Amino acid sequence: MAETRNDKVIVLQKLDSADNDVRVVFYSLRGGKMILNARGAKKITSKLSAHLEPYNLTELMIIESKHGATIGSAVSRQVFANLKSDWEKLHAAGRVFFWFNKFIKAGEPDRVLFFGLLDCLTILNAIKAPAVYYQWLADIFLFKLLAHLGYQPSLSTCNRCHQPFGQTLVYFSATAGGLVCFYCSRLIGGQAGPDRLVIKSETRAQLALILKTKFVDIIKIAKVRPGIARDLRILLDFWLSSALS
């Protein structure tokens, strides 16, 4: 016999499927990431469709039967209309959702991740700022996501010789997989770009502050400074791709 249960979900992605069905990827409070079928949601008259748009916070009734789980009903609780009507905000949220979806495995619920993602959407929806600030918030979210998943980079010791950083320059090295001291940077050699990027002490200090501050409090403390934002983006892109490989 079929059983039903209710869950709060954030809609991550809508996938196409055959006939009038739609497959939807969610991050749910109780069940973690899941993919469910919404029967007939493609039909223009379907009541489900509008509640299953990406970025929505939706209340789902899930029907579990021997044929698997399907969506019984869906009611949006928050649709983040400001975010969806602003291309720059959508671009930042899209970056967050793309990586979130890549990193999070199915069936591992985590309240910190659920409410973190909800905070990210709520803040992006509410604020009015230059586009660079939205991207900055997305980057901060992703740094914190990586740290939460156990990919926290070492900011105070060299990734190669493991000595604490002193007063000399600190470099980012793709070859060494993180931050290295002046001496190791010289030993590694390598190309000027990927192995010789100087990471200023302000950049490391900013990242350390980001990692220890709750996401909802970030907007009170973190200021965008273009040079630091650029260096952090290079570090973030590297850590995102190396964490997946």
**Which residues make up the interface to Zn ion (CB under 5 A)?**
158, 160-161, 181, 184
The Cα–Cα gap between 54 and 101 comes to 12
* Nearest distance, CB of residue 22 and Zn ion, angstroms: 52
* Nearest distance, CB of residue 185 and Zn ion, angstroms: 8
Of 103 and 165, CB closest to Zn ion: 165
DSSP for 9-59, written as a single string = EEEEEEEE-STT-EEEEEEETTTEEEEEEETTTTSTT-SSGGGGSTT-EEE
164 bridge partner residues: 157
Beta-carbon-side half-sphere exposure of residue 16 (alpha carbons within 13 Å): 1
* Nearest distance, CB of residue 107 and Zn ion, angstroms: 40
Of 82 and 163, CB closest to Zn ion: 163
Of 26 and 171, CB closest to Zn ion: 171
Tokens 């929505």 map to which residue?
A: 56
* Nearest distance, CB of residue 159 and Zn ion, angstroms: 8
The Cα–Cα gap between 82 and 70 comes to 30
Q: Which helix (H) or strand (E) holds 74?
A: strand 68-78
* Nearest distance, CB of residue 203 and Zn ion, angstroms: 18
Contact residues for 120 (Cβ-Cβ < 8 A; gap 6+): 93, 96, 137, 138, 141, 215
Of 51 and 160, CB closest to Zn ion: 160
Of 62 and 184, CB closest to Zn ion: 184
